[in-house]
A and B are shown apart, each in its own frame.
Chain A
Amino acid sequence: MTISYTRTDMLPAMAPPVSQRGLVKWLRENMLSTRLNVALTVLATAFIAFVAWNIFPWFWNSVWNAGSLAECRAIVAASAGEGASGACWAFLKPWWGAFIFGHQYPVSDRWRPVLAFGLLFVALAPILFAGQRRNLTIIFSVVAAYLLLTLYLASAPGLAFALAMLLVAGLVAVSQVQPERLLWFTLLYPALCFWLLWGGSIWSPIVAMAGFGVLYAIFRFASPVIGFAPAAGAGVVAAVLWWLFADAPLAGTLQEMIPVDLLRVPSDKFGGFLLAIVIGVTGITFSLPIGILLALGRQSDMPIVKMLCVIFIETIRGVPLITLLFVAAFVLGFFLPPEADFDLLLRVLILVTFFAAAYLAEVLRGSLAALPRGQYEAADALGLDYWRAQRLIILPQALKISIPAIVSSFIGLFKDTTLVVIVALYEPLKGITHLVRQDVNWKGIYWEPYIFVGVIFFLFCFGMSRYSKYLELKLKTDHR
């Protein structure tokens, strides 16, 4: 026997045998691999079938048109036989508006939240789908169709309707020519949204936004002269002075000269999903930057900055959100001067934002720690300063690692908006549902309103979850 061997030709790759591909392989491996697994598969299938069998008729016998619960039950009994169960969704017709806008939001002005909601997606699209013209076009077309339909249904005044359509058309045109310019709309959107939802004079949000303009202008012109940090400080001081002293009189004067205003709707008239979305979107938008700063601060070499961040994070995380909301609503009032008219919803927004930011900061701290030290060193060795290294090298990677966790906490935040019921705001899950169940016509209804609210929440949360999945795939560059 000889031990010498030389291969003369290399073997080509071949397709695997049938048992190793497709459905057969999947079934064998996942459902029927051992006797125990066969038994479990049979049991699980039987259980699913049993549950479906019992729940299905309830959905199948659903009634959508009726004036009261009693009427609903009569219809079910008539169509499916005595004793049959059936869902009654007919309460949605009279209560739809309350679920969406809250029962106190003026009916004549419901087109405003509708418009703000449509424009929200226009404002978000350039961020969520940066540089993807096709996705932008799809979103814009859907929003245009949505606005056409809903503004009509909400009987928006002709002028508002026309302006909204003009705005969307203009933005579509911009998206085709210079998509990056769309970010300007995103920047202006908060002011526009505020004006649409709360109403009042158009000049208040415009003059308030001008404060940011003042900040930027001072920073821009002062920073070459007195340096980066002092210029930023001076800008902030000037902006605060602007908001404190120039804001109200200027807005008032402008309003007298050119009156443009909408019916003012105070915060306590907000309710339903309008309330949930306002709190959720505001919390999500502002908690991300604050959370990033807190996470960086906690990693900072500067002891005071670090200590402040740690105290903030640990305090907020250590207290239940309900307690914070309670403090915001009732306890804060004792400490503020009686004439201070500090809007309840605004207090709630601030606390929810802080709460989410503290959690985000901890999530991000984890991914910052997970980045190899070499990344920091390479950034340093190339001469990037701290902020550039964070912005260009560290944060993109840290945020990418933590996308699932960040989106989880956003989903949690959105669902936590239902907790504002504790401070007597009419959120959909308990607030509005409670009203429905107190209604004489619908007394005794139990599952349906909760299922309805649950389904809507699910749609939003599932949407966020899918988007995070999409983003993860899009940003996947490690090719492992």
Chain B
Amino acid sequence: MAEAAKMQVSDEVAIQISGMNKWYGQFHVLRDINMTVMKGERIVICGPSGSGKSTLIRCVNRLEEHQQGQIIVDGTELTNDLKNIDKVRSEVGMVFQHFNLFPHLTILENLTLAPIWVRKVPKKEAEETAMYFLKKVKIPEQALKYPGQLSGGQQQRVAIARSLCMRPRIMLFDEPTSALDPEMIKEVLDTMIALAEEGMTMICVTHEMGFAQAVANRVIFMDQGQIVEQNEPKEFFNNPQSERTKLFLSQILGH
């Protein structure tokens, strides 16, 4: 496994979130979130369910709207301006818990769709890119199959490749291994580790603490819509400060 320390973090800001609040109706889901992500950083967000961690990263590409505060992604502020939203979305890749591949398209079509229609890449070039990334996630032989014919782990790797085909600068992972069998988790994590080694800026919501220790340079713990603690992985796991973090860690690591 890779040594987290080896990987470079630049001093350029990739994502800047300041004073951000979000409500679902009366319910205050995200409370005063402040967070800066540098280019090349690999951040793992963990926390109990309902703590707002998924909602937080879904705000970064505006799948969820925030009501207060500021989110600046790669120099573009997210507002109601659709142009900005589309710009950010084409720069930010996202991988979902349930893969969300398009079942009516082949794997290759899944991968080339957005480059062709959003980036206006010629079809042939898009297909070459798609094959390149399929090789990278080690399933080029599945290119002409449909998502329904693949295993969960393969589907998730296709989903990662689909995001990469847009050449994103930032990748968001929303519990990418939570819906997978234990045997398949490793193949997806390996893909993500390889991506991290290439210097991709990543924010990953996950409960895979092994992954966090191996590649993250920062672990963020959230509870009740707030950032409770953040630290380097080693410090975070060995020397948690808040009681809530200690309780959480003892529960997920203690069995």
Contacts and interface: CB of A to CB of B under 8 A. Distances in A.
A145 interface: no
A333 to B, nearest CB: 47
Contacts of B90: 382-383
B100 interface: yes
Contact of A382 (B87, B103, B114): B114
B86 A374 contact: no
B252 interface: no
A382 B162 contact: yes
Given A380-B63, A381-B61, A374 B104 contact: no
Given A378-B96, A479-B146, A388 B117 contact: yes
B113 A392 contact: yes
B104 A400 contact: yes
Interface in A356-381: 372, 374-375, 377-378, 380-381
A381 B148 contact: no
Interface residues of B, number: 28
A423 interface: no
A477 B61 contact: no
A382 to B, nearest CB: 4
Interface residues of A, number: 22
Contacts of B148: 477-480
A393 interface: yes
Nearest to A399: B104
A425 B159 CA distance: 57
Nearest to A393: B102
B149 interface: yes
Interface string B29-57: 00000000000000000000000000000
B89 interface: yes
Interface in A305-350: none
A474 to B, nearest CB: 12
A384 B117 contact: yes
Contact of A380 (B89, B93, B103): B89
Given A374-B98, A393-B102, A384 B63 contact: no
A407 B189 CA distance: 45
B166 interface: yes
A396 interface: yes
Contacts of B93: 381
A475 B98 contact: no
Contact of A383 (B98, B103, B118): B118
B142 to A, nearest CB: 13
Contacts of A377: 63, 96, 100
B181 to A, nearest CB: 18
Given A477-B146, A479-B146, A479-B148, A385 B86 contact: yes
A393 B166 CA distance: 17
Closest 5 CB pairs of A and B: A383-B90, A378-B100, A374-B100, A382-B114, A479-B148
Given A378-B101, A383-B89, A396-B104, 4 more contacts: A374-B99, A383-B87, A388-B117, A392-B113
Interface of A: 372, 374-375, 377-378, 380-385, 388, 392-393, 396-397, 400, 475, 477-480
22 contacts: A372-B98, A374-B99, A375-B100, A378-B102, A380-B61, A381-B63, A381-B93, A381-B96, A381-B163, A382-B113, A382-B114, A382-B163, A384-B113, A384-B114, A384-B117, A388-B117, A392-B117, A393-B113, A397-B103, A477-B104, A479-B148, A479-B149
